[in-house]
């Protein structure tokens, strides 16, 4: 497998929408239109992993000054502040048949490195309880149950400060 990472463009819209549908329940998945807006608004915060030339996963999120992800941020790209302190992570997706190969970690590490190079203070995300330990491996700290009710799930706020 020859893995490469690139920033998203509108030519990736169909692929990321399909990957998202494989990775999240419909109640939590972003729509094609939301992805279109994210790619247009913050393409440099939208990284895609390719196995040879096939997209197999991605990580994306806006930049903000907030310490927490608010549900409104998932749907409204106007929360993106290119001069913000924190890189938010809205999703870390890897197609099921390519999981447990380290691709998610490669994407996360690429976003962490990019955020450091861009002068961010850190990263924020929300995750389900069973993934807290995974994100702690990258240095994220669990801040407890989130106010987010996105998709009707229980989420935990996580922060990684540099």
* Domain of residue 20, residue span: 3-161
Q: How far apart are the first and last CA of the chain?
A: 32
Per the structure, the count of domains in the chain is 1
Provide the percentage of residues in the chain whose pLDDT is more than 90: 94
Query: Is-contact 48 12, C-beta < 8 A?
Result: yes
| Residue range 103-107: mean pLDDT, rounded | 97
The C-alpha atoms of residue 87 and residue 158 are separated, in whole angstroms, by: 12
Residue 43 has what pLDDT? Answer: 96
CATH assignment of the domain containing 134: 3.40.630.30
Check: CB of residue 62 under 8 Å from CB of residue 53.
no
pTM: 0.95
Task: Using the predicted structure, report yes or no on whether residue 1 has a pLDDT greater than 70.
Answer: no
Mind listing the pLDDT tens digit for each residue in 3-56?
A: 999 999 999 999 999 999 999 989 999 999 999 999 999 999 999 999 988 999
CA-to-CA dists, residue 20 to 25, 31, 117, angstroms: 9, 9, 27
């Amino acid at each position: 497998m020859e893995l490469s990472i690139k920033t998203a463009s509108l030519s990736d819209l169909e692929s990321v929408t399909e990957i998202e549908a494989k990775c999240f329940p419909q109640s939590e998945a972003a729509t094609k239109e939301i992805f279109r807006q994210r790619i247009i608004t913050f393409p440099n915060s939208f990284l895609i992993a390719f196995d040879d030339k096939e997209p197999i996963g991605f990580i994306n999120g806006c930049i903000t000054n907030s310490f927490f992800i608010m549900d409104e941020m998932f749907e409204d790209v106007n929360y993106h502040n290119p001069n913000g302190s924190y890189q938010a992570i809205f999703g870390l997706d890897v197609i099921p048949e390519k999981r447990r190969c380290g691709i998610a970690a490669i994407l996360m590490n690429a976003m962490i490195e990019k955020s450091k190079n861009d002068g961010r203070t850190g990263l924020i995300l929300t995750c389900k309880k069973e993934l807290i330990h995974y994100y702690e491996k990258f240095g994220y700290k669990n801040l407890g149950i989130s106010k987010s009710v996105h998709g009707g799930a229980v989420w935990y706020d996580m922060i990684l400060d540099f």
